[in-house]
Amino acid sequence: MANLLRRLTLIALVCALTYFSSEPKWITERSFGRLDDGRDVRIFTLKNTQGTELEIMDLGATIVSLKTADANGNLADITTGFDNPRQYQAGAGYMGALVGRYANRIANGSFSLDGQEYSLAVNNGDNAIHGGIVGFDKKIWETSYDSNQSESTLSLTLISPDGEEGYPGTVSARVTYILNDQNQLVIDYSATTDAATVINLTQHAYFNLNGQGAGSILDHKIMINADQYTPVDSESIPTGEIASVTGTPLDFRSAKLIGRDIDDDHEQMQFGSGFDHNFIINNSGADEIAMAASVFSPTTGRTLTVYTDQPGMQFYTGNFLNGSLVGKQGAVYQRRNAFCLETQHYPDSPNKPNFPSTVLRPGEEYKTRTVFEFGVRN
Cite the active site residues: 204, 342
Torsion angle, alpha carbons of 81, 213, 201, 139, to 10: 10
Q: Which residues pair with 226 in a beta bridge?
A: 281
Give the Cα separation of 222 and 253 in Å (integer): 9
Question: Distance between CA 358 and CA 113 in Å, rounded?
Answer: 11
| DSSP code per residue over 359-373 | EE-TT--EEEEEEEE
What is the Cα–Cα distance from 318 to 296, expressed in whole angstroms?
Answer: 17
Between CA 355 and CA 342 the distance in angstroms is 17
Spatial distance between the Cα atoms of 98 and 83, rounded to a whole number of angstroms: 18
Residue 6, number of CB atoms within 10 A of its CB:
10
Task: Name the residue type at position 146.
Answer: D
Question: Is-contact 183 50, C-beta < 8 A?
Answer: yes
Backbone angles phi, psi at 76, to 5 degrees: -150, 150
How far is residue 143's CA from residue 174's CA, in Å, rounded to a whole number?
10
189: Cα within 13 Å, side-chain hemisphere: 24
Instruction: Give dist(CA 166, CA 116) in Å, integer.
Output: 12
